[in-house]
Amino acid sequence: MIELALIVAASTLASGLGGAFALRLVPSVRARLAGLSLLAVGLPLAAVLLSGAVMFEMGTDVVILAVAAASSTVAIAAALLVARSITAPVNRLRAASGALAGGDLSVRAPEQGPREIAELGASLNEMATQLERLFDARRELVAWASHDLRTPLAAIRAMIEAVEDGIAKPEHYTQELAEQVRTLSALVDDLFELARIDAGVLTLELENASLALLVDSCVRGLQAEARARRIKLEARVGGNAIAWCAPNQVERVLLNLVTNALRHTPSDGAVAVVVSAQPQAVTVAVEDSGAGITGETERRMFERFWRADPARSAEGSGLGLAIAQGLVEAQGGRIWAENRPEGGARVAFMLQAAPEPTARGSGRRLMQNGESPTKRGSLQGTERPDAGQRSYGRRGFLLLVGGGLSSLVWAGPVSRLLSPLTSAASQLVGNLVPVDGWRIYTISGTMPMFDRSSWRLEVDGLVKRPRSLSYDELKALPRAEQVSTFHCVTGWTVNNVHWAGVRFQHLFDLVQPLPAATAVRFVSAEHPYEDSLTLDQLRFPDAMLAYELEGEPLSRPHGAPARVVLPEMYGYKGVKWLTRMELVERQPEGYWEQNGYDQDAWVGRSNGYHS
């Protein structure tokens, strides 16, 4: 009996070890785990069936006990072998990622092991490569920016020293100094524009615009330069090229691309602006007959300060294409460069086609570059589908359909059973988390900073006792709280907003308005943001100067340290980042009124929302 048990155990052990080594050759972790499960179940089952047959012949339990122990040992050994084949490449990946986190950007992970782990290693290596390029680009950016700043500064210093030493008269260098200052100003303006794009605070006014008109305007504006260079410049527009875009920014991108093409096209060459319309997008391409672009240029031409000329003797700051890329992507489009088959370069960008016209609205929308331009999303992936996407199989589709059809039977009873619970949960979530969220707008692209120690609220004008209140003095006034609805004139709403602050009447009691005062001019720290309300409107029971939102001090995006709240009017009347209240005789127009909005912004009765 013992001999038979040992034979069965040895056979099971051999089968298990063979299966474990075979599993190490399987390329997928999922397949290895599935094979391990089958091996762990199949070996004991086979051993038990064999020992059962022996048991009926020999009538003893010793054989079963021995075989069960042997098969369990084999299963454990096989599991350890398979686990080692999985954990070994994972440990190598962990070591590589640790070295990468420690700053060694040259380290690379081995792309070996099961398919999933090998793909993970390849992704880690790609990330390391990109990081290495990023750090190299940062070093180059600092060097190039220093060079481009140092050159005009050195020229300015040399001319000033020449004037100071009496070598030249000031008027001799006036024109050259002005030119260098213009160069510096253009560079600083470009850097500021890039900073706004990166920070997501660039505000764009999207509308339906004819690209044919924009292209024609751009071509006409550069014809003189093209003729001076003896280059043929033309526009070719096909189809109804109407795009959903910010026309001023698109024209800026076009001017940059066409100017670059003229600079890199030899005399007697040609530059063409080609516009083509597709159902969902419009493509604008600037094609030239120059020498084309190299592989490095194609890869790096949209990097900041990068120039193909190592001596950096070309015109411009090297920021134009980076700004163009930022402006196009801020409108939901994409931009790329390639060589033309017939020779020369082609730089193109794609924008979304104009949406279908609606029965209401002007067809314009104010958008920041952090937002999605339309509900259809951006064009970042147009004509370049993700190769890693997986489609649903037939079984998944049939399972989905079967589940949907079965809901005709069980959905009604289950819904009635759970209705009290879902209703209570819905009400609780609705009270805790508003359905609609806030959208933050600025007019200058940056939000003012609030320093509690230095901030003052000036209350002056037609008053008997002008006051300058600190933040603590403002909060020391009688506190008021309210819950109200916030309405934006663009159509979105935030319900159940909990404000805390000071009623305007308490401020009026402090300064004692003169009889001639009829309105208050509110001045924001964000220049030129200001607006006004009448004294009667500010005496509404729910009008307040708020300094808290939802039980917390106002955050910087919401107008810290104080903002105007008047729920009966649209939010653009609620001046944020308040620094001054001037009582005046006549109500002046504010920033938004000067841009076409109504002075009395009653909710539902102004700015096109007539009841």
Coarse DSSP helix, strand, coil percentages of the chain, rounded to the nearest 5 percent:
45, 20, 35
348 and 403 part of one domain: no
Determine the pLDDT at residue 101.
80
- Average pLDDT of 346-375? 65
Q: Under DSSP, is residue 526 helix (H, G, I), strand (E, B) or coil?
A: coil
Determine the pLDDT at residue 116.
76
Examine the pLDDT at 584 and tell me if it is beyond 90: yes
463 and 362 part of one domain: no
Look at 330 and 30; give whichever has higher pLDDT. Answer: 330
Determine the pLDDT at residue 569.
93
Does a structural domain hold residue 74? yes
Does a structural domain hold residue 571? yes
Examine the pLDDT at 579 and tell me if it is beyond 90: yes
Determine the pLDDT at residue 460.
96
287 and 397 part of one domain: no
In the numeric block, the tokens 């002007």 are attached to 362
Question: Could you tell me the maximum CA-CA distance found in the chain, to the nearest angstrom?
Answer: 122
In the numeric block, the tokens 């420690």 are attached to 102
Examine the pLDDT at 534 and tell me if it is beyond 90: yes
Task: Tell me how far the alpha carbon of residue 150 is from its chain's centroid.
Answer: 33
* DSSP class per residue in 121-145: HHHHHHHHHHHHHHHHHHHHHHHHH
Please tell me the least confidently modeled range out of 25-34, 229-238, 519-528: 25-34
| Residue 72 CB partners (closer than 8 Å, separation 6+) | 44
Average pLDDT, the chain: 77
| Residues belonging to the chain | 611
Q: Under DSSP, is residue 110 helix (H, G, I), strand (E, B) or coil?
A: coil
9 and 90 part of one domain: yes
Domain at 306, CATH number: 3.30.565.10
As a whole number of angstroms, the distance between CA 82 and CA 32 comes to 7
Q: Is 589 left (phi over 0), alpha (psi -120 to 50) or beta?
A: beta
98 and 240 part of one domain: no
Determine the pLDDT at residue 121.
83
Determine the pLDDT at residue 515.
95
137 and 213 part of one domain: no
Look at 50 and 519; give whichever has higher pLDDT. Answer: 519
Domain at 481, CATH number: 3.90.420.10
Determine the pLDDT at residue 182.
78
Q: Is residue 511 within 8 Å of residue 464, measured between CB atoms?
A: yes
Examine the pLDDT at 365 and tell me if it is beyond 70: no
As a whole number of angstroms, the distance between CA 220 and CA 234 comes to 9
Examine the pLDDT at 609 and tell me if it is beyond 60: no
Look at 443 and 478; give whichever has higher pLDDT. Answer: 478
Q: Under DSSP, is residue 90 helix (H, G, I), strand (E, B) or coil?
A: helix
% of the chain with per-residue pLDDT over 70: 68
Look at 490 and 334; give whichever has higher pLDDT. Answer: 334
Q: Which helix (H) or strand (E) holds 157?
A: helix 115-164
Q: Which of 137, 92, 447, 133 has the alpha carbon at shortest distance from 305? A: 137
Does a structural domain hold residue 284? yes
475 and 544 part of one domain: yes
* Among 89-103, 174-188, 325-339, the range of highest mean pLDDT: 325-339
Tokens describing residue 155:
């020229």
Does a structural domain hold residue 547? yes
Examine the pLDDT at 480 and tell me if it is beyond 80: yes
| Residue 50 CB partners (closer than 8 Å, separation 6+) | 8, 67
| Residue 471 CB partners (closer than 8 Å, separation 6+) | 452, 455, 547, 561
Burial of 80 (0-12, 13-18, 19+ CB in 10 A): exposed
Q: Which helix (H) or strand (E) holds 495?
A: strand 493-503
204 and 351 part of one domain: yes
Examine the pLDDT at 80 and tell me if it is beyond 70: no
As a whole number of angstroms, the distance between CA 445 and CA 464 comes to 37
Band of residue 35 on the pLDDT scale cut at 50, 70, 90 = confident
As a whole number of angstroms, the distance between CA 337 and CA 264 comes to 14
466 and 559 part of one domain: yes
Examine the pLDDT at 412 and tell me if it is beyond 60: no
Each residue's pLDDT tens digit, 371-411: 555 444 445 544 433 434 444 445 554 554 455 545 445 55
Band of residue 434 on the pLDDT scale cut at 50, 70, 90 = very low
Find the angle CA(510)-CA(463)-CA(476) to the nearest 5 degrees.
Answer: 20
For residues 511-531, b (16+ Cβ closer than 10 Å) or e, as one string? bebeeebebbbbbbbbeebbb
Determine the pLDDT at residue 249.
86
Examine the pLDDT at 332 and tell me if it is beyond 80: yes
364 and 469 part of one domain: no
Query: Residue 543's domain spans which residues?
Result: 456-594
520 and 405 part of one domain: no
Examine the pLDDT at 466 and tell me if it is beyond 80: yes
CA distances from 532 to 320, 539, 567 (A): 40, 14, 15
Each residue's pLDDT tens digit, 445-464: 678 888 888 999 999 999 99
Q: Of 155, 187, 219, which residue constitutes the final position of a domain? A: 155
Examine the pLDDT at 40 and tell me if it is beyond 80: no
As a whole number of angstroms, the distance between CA 457 and CA 468 comes to 6
As a whole number of angstroms, the distance between CA 322 and CA 306 comes to 9
Number of helical H runs and strand E runs in the chain = 14, 18
Q: Under DSSP, is residue 43 helix (H, G, I), strand (E, B) or coil?
A: helix
* Among 35-44, 192-201, 347-356, 402-411, the range of highest mean pLDDT: 347-356
- Average pLDDT of 97-116? 79
Question: Domain total for the chain?
Answer: 4
Tokens describing residue 398:
């049939």
Does a structural domain hold residue 309? yes
Determine the pLDDT at residue 238.
79
Q: Is residue 321 within 8 Å of residue 373, measured between CB atoms?
A: no
Q: Is residue 347 within 8 Å of residue 276, measured between CB atoms?
A: no
Find the angle CA(217)-CA(219)-CA(224) to the nearest 5 degrees.
Answer: 115
Determine the pLDDT at residue 476.
94
Band of residue 366 on the pLDDT scale cut at 50, 70, 90 = low
Examine the pLDDT at 354 and tell me if it is beyond 50: yes
Each residue's pLDDT tens digit, 252-278: 889 889 988 998 899 989 999 999 988
Does a structural domain hold residue 275? yes
Does a structural domain hold residue 380? no
Look at 599 and 312; give whichever has higher pLDDT. Answer: 599
Tokens describing residue 284:
């604008």
Look at 170 and 373; give whichever has higher pLDDT. Answer: 170
- Sheet containing 456-461: order of strands: 467-470, 456-461, 578-584, 519-524, 530-534
As a whole number of angstroms, the distance between CA 435 and CA 424 comes to 16
Look at 271 and 322; give whichever has higher pLDDT. Answer: 271
404 and 475 part of one domain: no
Examine the pLDDT at 430 and tell me if it is beyond 60: no
Determine the pLDDT at residue 119.
83
Examine the pLDDT at 418 and tell me if it is beyond 80: no
Determine the pLDDT at residue 542.
94
Does a structural domain hold residue 234? yes
Q: Is 563 left (phi over 0), alpha (psi -120 to 50) or beta?
A: beta
